[in-house]
Amino acid sequence: MSESLPPKSVLALEARTPLTPGIALAVLLHVVVFGAALVLPRLFDRAPPLRKPIIAHMVALGKPRDPHLLPRKELAPPAAAASPMTVPVPSSKPSPAPRKREPTRQELMQRALARATGRAEPREEPDPERAGSAKGTPEGTAATAEEGDAYFTAVHDAILENYVVPSVISERERLYLSASVLAWIGPGGQILKHEFQKKSGNAFFDQALELAIQRTKLPPPPAEIAKSLRDTGVVLNFKP
Amino acid sequence: MIFLLALLLAAERPVIDLSGGRVQAYPLAMARPLGVQDAGVAVQSVLSQDFERSGLFKLLDPASFLARPTEGLTNIDYTKWQAVGAQGLIKISCDAPGAEVKCDMRLYDVAHGVELLHGTYNAPRAAMRQIAHRFGDDVVRYFTHEPAIFQTRIAYVRETEQGKQIVVADQDGANVQPLTGASINLLPAWTPDGRTIAFTSFRDGLGAHIYAVDAGTRQVRPLVLMGDFATGAVYAPDGLRFLFSASLDDNTDIYLSQADGSAGRRLTDSRGIDISASWSPDGKRIAFVSERAGSPQIYTMAADGSDVRRLTFQGNYNQEPAWSPKGDLIAFSGRDEHRIFDLYTVAVEGGKVTRLTQNQGTNEKPSWAPNGRYLLFSSTRGGKRQLWETQPDGSNQRAVTSERMGASDPAWGPLPASK
């Protein structure tokens, strides 16, 4: 005769069950929550897949040139000083202003590229026929913008206007410099405070960024992002 | 969860990328010198010229200064210097006891109100310019972390009524000292230690040969008397060997010799002329001009003469290569379609040719500063051929010499030995 075992109570069963599965389940749930928090925003805001870049070679204004000839100078010849001791004296008779010629579309595109690489004068007239916004930037590529994007474009342009890299920083060092500044913007457009998230390691570069931020006057932000800019701020990533 | 919250907050923060800031010269104020005025003003004048030539600094107009002219070397009111746009400030205080000048020279960071450099510099009154050059070098080195060239010297050929003589001068053209008489002397080349200059001369009446002159004693000795045409000596970076061109058997080729002129051996043997050798900074390759393809073009080869590669394909007369101390560029002069010689650089990797001079007379004979930041060259702009300097992108071109009958064949000397 087999002796039937007394029924085990639920409590007894629980008492003998090790705690590990419960802890594992809790850890798993946390991992899922953390993973979702990290992955889901990227799923909805994912960068487009990498494509082979298309490099546009724009045609310069000029005449066709035999490729076997030596090149012409890329920029206008620099004004040569008469002697190292000479102090330039302004002419008493100002020369008549040259007749203004409307720049071609190619010239405007070249200027925009030159500005993007820091080789051009900071202020140039934009192409009046170009699609975009009155609040846009010459470097921009979109024809329309949400109000918030337009404001960040204005912030970009205003800081860039004051962004000067000291020439005493060697070209070799410029290749590697970068810095991040977190700035909080008040409702009137004033920069309430700023702090370096990452310094460049070059005191003169960091000082130039400080100066650029101090000298920048921003327009008031639109109402829908004003609170965020005041409380959360905006990250400014600088490279020479 | 706090970590998660921080992550989410950071994710919401907009990011703006900024690049392409304008590269501008560093605004520098030079306060009125303190102490003995004639010495202070003279030193400051040389220092100002050095800084302006460097292209690194923008010297502010003293007329705009707000600080008291008598403001000392300490207790500086930095707000007054900030107000005129200065980021750096230089102060000089000189004393001139007897025949010596002694200057206390300081560099300050105006924005942070701190002293960056401080030194006392002495020199005989006749060599007062050296005080400025030494402090200038210290300032440039402080900012750029690269060697500075204000204390370097240059050699060149000075035209005289009697002929052409080799002279040496400070890098700014001052303090000219002749090293040779005035027969026909050409193409000076420094040894890496700066003590000797090799040059090509017709002094023996038997053709062109290579001699060496001691820059200190001016003693001249023959180096290469091979055939009736040996020219264009250029020392290897180790100073133990030199290259030159010589004509034997109706062909001009490049030869390599020991520093004393012995054991010369031919490196090239093409049918065309091979001439104008220039060492790469590591001494492993040689740039030269060859006519082997029908017109003078720039080539490179290994230091033993092997692995010859053509570098220029544009233009039909490219000559006088000079390999940059940084190794990435070779400067040369080329004749354009208007039959005018101008300066160019060609990238050693890729062969991209960039023009440095244009519509400013004939420009030839590039010679690099030992830190690679400047090029010295001869130019006929303004009439007589004189020496000019430029930055490697063709900017900031300035006259260096003002010789009455002209100057040519520049050779920038080495950096002074570190003390």
- The answer to whether position B13 is within a domain reads no
Find all residues with CB under 8 Å of B395, minimum gap 6, and list them.
A78, B55
Taking 3-state DSSP, the helix, strand and coil percentages for chain B, each rounded to the nearest 5, stand at 15, 45, 45
Cβ contacts (< 8 Å) between B23 and chain A: which residues?
Answer: 118, 164-167, 240
Residues B328, B198 share a domain: yes
- The answer to whether position B5 is within a domain reads no
**Res B250 pLDDT > 60:** yes
Quick check: B213 and B197 in contact, CB under 8 A?
A: yes
Q: Which domain holds residue A188?
A: 106-122+145-238
Q: Is the dihedral angle over the CA atoms A59, A60, A66, A72 positive or is it negative? A: negative
Cβ contacts (< 8 Å) between A228 and chain B: which residues?
Answer: 12
Of A38, A173, A238, the CB nearest to B18: A238
- The answer to whether position A169 is within a domain reads yes
pLDDT in tens, B163-205: 999 999 999 999 999 999 888 999 999 999 999 999 999 998 8
The total number of structural domains that make up chain B: 2
C-alpha A43, offset from chain centre: 23
Other Cβ atoms less than 10 A from the Cβ of A134: the count is 6
Residues B201, B160 share a domain: yes
pLDDT of residue A149: 75
Query: Would the pTM of this model clear 0.95, i.e. be above it?
Result: no
Residues B122, B268 share a domain: no
Of A37, A81, A235, the CB nearest to B15: A235
Find all residues with CB under 8 Å of B65, minimum gap 6, and list them.
B29, B31, B32, B80, B81, B84
Which of these, B378, B346, B376, B374, lies nearest to B360 by C-alpha position? B378
CATH of the domain at A159: 3.30.1150.10
pLDDT of residue A63: 73
pLDDT of residue A106: 59
Residues B194, B117 share a domain: no
Report the chain A residue with the minimal C-alpha distance to residue B18: A238
Residues B162, B139 share a domain: no
- The answer to whether position A23 is within a domain reads no
Residues B114, B45 share a domain: yes
pLDDT of residue A107: 60
Q: Which domain holds residue B172?
A: 153-412
pLDDT in tens, A198-232: 999 888 899 899 989 999 999 999 988 899 899 99
How distant, in Å, are the alpha carbons of A121, B199, B392 from that of B376? 28, 18, 10
Using the 3D structure, point to which of B144, B170, B198 is the last residue of a domain.
B144
- Residue A104 corresponds to which tokens in the numbers above? 């071609």
The total number of structural domains that make up chain A: 1
DSSP track, B32-55: PPEESHHHHHHHHHHHHHHHHHHT
- The answer to whether position B262 is within a domain reads yes
Q: How confident is the model at residue B414 (pLDDT cuts 50, 70, 90)?
A: very high
DSSP letter, residue B85: T
- Residue A150 corresponds to which tokens in the numbers above? 């337009």
Average of pLDDT values for B48-68?
Answer: 95
- The answer to whether position A226 is within a domain reads yes
Find all residues with CB under 8 Å of A68, minimum gap 6, and list them.
B313, B314, B315, B316
DSSP track, B252-266: EEEEEEETTS-S-EE
Q: How confident is the model at residue B411 (pLDDT cuts 50, 70, 90)?
A: very high
- The answer to whether position A113 is within a domain reads yes
A42 vs B: CB within 8 A: no
- The answer to whether position A66 is within a domain reads no
Residue that the structure tokens 């053209």 belong to: B173
ipTM: 0.76
pLDDT of residue B249: 79
Choose the most confident range, by mean pLDDT, from A191-195, B1-5, B321-325.
B321-325
CA–CA gap between residue A192 and residue A230 (Å, rounded):
8
Residues B157, B137 share a domain: no
Residues B167, B115 share a domain: no
Quick check: B292 and B274 in contact, CB under 8 A?
A: yes
Residue that the structure tokens 């070098």 belong to: B137
Residues B328, B345 share a domain: yes
The alpha-carbon gap from B243 to the nearest alpha carbon of chain A, in Å, equals 28
CA–CA gap between residue B257 and residue B242 (Å, rounded):
5
- The answer to whether position B11 is within a domain reads no
A169 vs B: CB within 8 A: yes
CB contact under 8 A, B18 and A41: no
CB contact under 8 A, B315 and A208: no
CATH of the domain at B167: 2.120.10.30
pLDDT in tens, B142-170: 999 999 999 999 999 999 999 999 999 99
pLDDT of residue A153: 87
The alpha-carbon gap from A179 to the nearest alpha carbon of chain B, in Å, equals 10
Cβ contacts (< 8 Å) between A76 and chain B: which residues?
Answer: none
Is the model more confident about B367 or about A2?
B367
Q: How confident is the model at residue B248 (pLDDT cuts 50, 70, 90)?
A: confident
- The answer to whether position B16 is within a domain reads no
Among B4-13, B127-136, B178-187, whose mean pLDDT is lowest?
Answer: B4-13
Report the chain B residue with the minimal C-alpha distance to residue A173: B144
**Res B216 pLDDT > 50:** yes
Using the 3D structure, point to which of B94, B116, B144 is the last residue of a domain.
B144
Average of per-residue pLDDT values in chain B: 93
Residue that the structure tokens 């202003």 belong to: A97
Q: How confident is the model at residue B239 (pLDDT cuts 50, 70, 90)?
A: very high
Alpha-carbon dihedral B74, B79, B84, B86, rounded to 10 degrees? 60
Average of pLDDT values for B47-76?
Answer: 94
- The answer to whether position B419 is within a domain reads no
CB contact under 8 A, A239 and B17: yes
Find all residues with CB under 8 Å of A190, minimum gap 6, and list them.
A218
Of B13, B24, B336, the CB nearest to A70: B336
- The answer to whether position A67 is within a domain reads no
pLDDT of residue A240: 87
CB contact under 8 A, B397 and A83: no
Which of these, B196, B173, B198, lies nearest to B407 by C-alpha position? B173
Residues B279, B229 share a domain: yes
- The answer to whether position A229 is within a domain reads yes
Residues B268, B192 share a domain: yes
- Residue B387 carries which side chain, given as an amino acid letter? L
- The answer to whether position B12 is within a domain reads no
Of A70, A204, A240, the CB nearest to B315: A70
Report the chain B residue with the minimal C-alpha distance to residue A118: B20
**Res B121 pLDDT > 90:** yes
DSSP track, B100-120: EEEEEEEEEETTTTEEEEEEE
CATH of the domain at B115: 3.40.50.10070
Of A34, A71, A234, the CB nearest to B16: A234
CA–CA gap between residue A229 and residue A154 (Å, rounded):
14
pLDDT tens string, chain A, 240 residues long: the values are 444 555 555 444 455 556 688 888 888 898 888 888 777 766 655 444 333 334 444 455 677 788 889 999 875 444 334 333 333 333 334 344 444 455 555 565 565 555 544 444 444 455 555 556 666 666 555 555 555 678 888 899 999 999 999 888 888 888 889 999 999 999 999 999 999 999 998 888 998 999 899 999 999 999 888 998 999 999 999 998
- The answer to whether position B418 is within a domain reads no
Quick check: B182 and B160 in contact, CB under 8 A?
A: yes
CA–CA gap between residue A204 and residue B187 (Å, rounded):
42
Q: How confident is the model at residue B297 (pLDDT cuts 50, 70, 90)?
A: very high
pLDDT of residue A6: 56
Find all residues with CB under 8 Å of A62, minimum gap 6, and list them.
none
pLDDT of residue A86: 32
Is the model more confident about A131 or about B212?
B212
pLDDT of residue A109: 59
Using the 3D structure, point to which of B123, B144, B165 is the last residue of a domain.
B144
Residues B177, B46 share a domain: no
* Angle formed by the axes of helices B37-54 and B129-144, nearest 10°: 40
Are β-strands B309-310 and B185-190 bridged in parallel, bridged antiparallel, or unpaired? unpaired
Quick check: B376 and B387 in contact, CB under 8 A?
A: yes
At A233 the three-state DSSP class reads coil
Percent of chain B with pLDDT over 90: 86
Residue that the structure tokens 């053509």 belong to: B310
- Could you tell me where the DSSP H helices lie in chain A? 10-16, 20-44, 105-116, 147-162, 171-174, 203-215, 223-231
pLDDT of residue A112: 55
In chain A, which among 3-32 make CB contacts under 8 A with chain B? none
Of B23, B382, B402, the CB nearest to A118: B23
- The answer to whether position A230 is within a domain reads yes
pLDDT in tens, B329-351: 999 999 999 999 999 999 999 99
